[in-house]
Chains A and B, each alone.
Chain A
Amino acid sequence: MYDIKAIYEAKTIKDASRLLLEHKDAQIIAGGSDVLVQVREGKRAGKELVSIYGLDELRGVKILPNGDIKIGSLTSFSCIIGSDIIKEHLPVLAYAVEQVGSPQIRNIGTIGGNTCNGVTSADSASTLFAYDAMIEISGMDYERIIPISEFYISAGKVDLKEGEIQTAIIIKKESYEGYFGRYIKYAMREALDIATTGCSVNVKLSPDKKYFEDVRIAYGVAGPVPMRAVNAENFIKGKEVNEENIDSFANEVLNDVRPRDSWRASKAFRSHIGVVMAARCLSRATELAGGDVDGRL
């Protein structure tokens, strides 16, 4: 038995905004795989809920005429994993969301919910950061699009103002074209687990595959919100593809990440695996991009 004060079902995106403006304390619910857990824990007990789960216009993956990829916020993880567009252009995102929970959770959980929940450990978040994803937001009579790095404000808090819902996640063509990526979820179990740390890297090599033209690396659980390791990225850009540079890049990450000590894992341990993951992600992504990393995997 759940302690829910009332539930309102939005019929359209505008309707959702109206309901949210009418019920200022209401919580948006999509698949419910986070919200219902929070209600049960008492964190969101006794609240009004506005369900947007019936808004089919928010589902699906498509390529826009300009080549950008648009993922509706209500698209389930399972649908992302199965999407031909994602498989072809953003395989690393498919892999990342395949690490979420279990088949049941991936069927009900949505990528919009995953990002709006505002937690640093979300499996989709580090890869979306690494792809410079844009977040599409709809208000009562307007739309706005912001970079994902601005969407996350602090732990559990995202940039959704009164009456706003997130409607889509957009990956620009220039962000994915020519890039190859790798995500490692470091967790204590192979399923049904939260990331101790997540690391997503994508890389674009020079035409001769000898130099790193661009590298983007993002972490989950290396700080209160998902984050990019900017120092490391700047270090590696333009450098030659070799093992030594990859190792230096990985160590450079320590100038960016801010892991903390908690009972779940110590700072020393998180820092150590953060470095190992950076090296392994970049090596693998480089290999996928056709680079030669001294025969190492």
Chain B
Amino acid sequence: METLQLIANGFAQASSGTNILFVVLGVTLGTVIGLLPGLGSATGVAILLPLTLGLDPLTALIMLAGLYYGAQYGGSITSILIATPGEPSQVMTTLDGYQLARAGRAGPALAMAAIASFVAGTLTIPLLMTLAPVLGDFALRFGPPEEFTLMLFGLVSVGGMTGENRSKGLAMAAFGVALSTVGFDPQTGLARYTFGNSNLFGGIGFVPVIIGVFAIGELLSQVSSGGAEPIRTRFRDMLPTMDDWRHSKWPTIRSSFLGFFIGVLPGAGATVAAFFGYDLERRLSKRGDQFGSGMIEAVAAPEAANNSAVNGSFVPTLTLGIPGSATTAVLLGALLLYGVRPGPFFMQEQPDLAWGLMASFYLGNVALLILNLPMAPVFALLLRIRYVYLYPGILVISLLGAYAVQNSSFAVWVAAVFGVIGYLMQRNGYPAAPLVLGLVLGGIMEQALVRSSSMSGGDFTIFLTRPISLAFVLLSVAILGVPTLLRLLRTRGERRPVEESA
């Protein structure tokens, strides 16, 4: 009862006229920032953070929540319209979202992305409010071995996403992990695969790689196939149908909960959640074999998962003071700036601010839906522009996005080189998503492996002696082994009648 009273107080404080004005401003600015490749939600919040200085702490936090949700959605818009995910967590949205856009269904894809994010927020913010203390304790039990095996499971399952080309998917995942090791080894300071080039000492950033393999690779592919035709659809075709909602309803709900619990765990948060959300629905759906060709639920699932994962990642941030992701690290910095000190006693010591903050996440979600849902068909109009006038702009903005991440000209070269690699991968049926996941998770995986190795004195059976890590190992083995086993059995079944008839 007391909790309900605190929640009501939180909403009452967060929904004053001034706060609503600032959340609307935050969502609008965030959406614009999110439209620019390379400036993901964490960077967007960091860039616009100075705008909130001088505001009342709660108002500032509400505006930041709006900025964050707006930036996330802005990234989804570019993922869907021009195959340019702003950050790794939007890679899975690109796969089917872009295919839907090419089929003239950008409006429904954009609308469903907004709706799925809203539903995810609606379902998981109450979880954050009520379960945070309990889940914070669970997150503490998730040590390096569990973290490593979770990442391993994510990488292995990505191979299954690539349908017939499992070998190609797994080869690209391994390529991504190998790429993540370029640069100084964090443990020993040894330079790996740098060949004396100082630009490589800091490693290969994943944003230029994403921009290269997705945006520039797709652009080169479109140019070689004569350029995409402008897409002219009727306005009513730009709105989602009841059928779209029917297909997306359960995937959205399932991925919301899945994403939240993945977000609670330390690690890559929203990216892993989006991959798992997509993969789960691909396996559960009757039309899972068509994922990748433009299925609306394949947009809804990763969008719900990555949104709710961020809410999940606030559990360790608010209850333990440990940021669960890059975005929460930036937001944690903002909280500290306003004198808010998250930790085990945050909710008891500063209940007004704690509940007001959580209510502000929800208001950010609501503002995003109200502002951007009617705008989805308008954004989709971008595809009516002839490709001749679209691709030079996409190319310039993409390369600038790669530059803007670290203000580095070398990153522009990285994006260009990976553009060529992405083009060759597309033409030869190599999936790009496992490469990105490998690159994003590789560094975290290596750290978890090194820590596990130190914990056990080099004994790798540590992964088999802890229940959670053992479960992930078994799941990984099952995902790798079961399809091969089924194929062998099918081959034997097909040969037997031939041998009998001979």
Our verdict on whether A and B bind, yes or no, reads: no
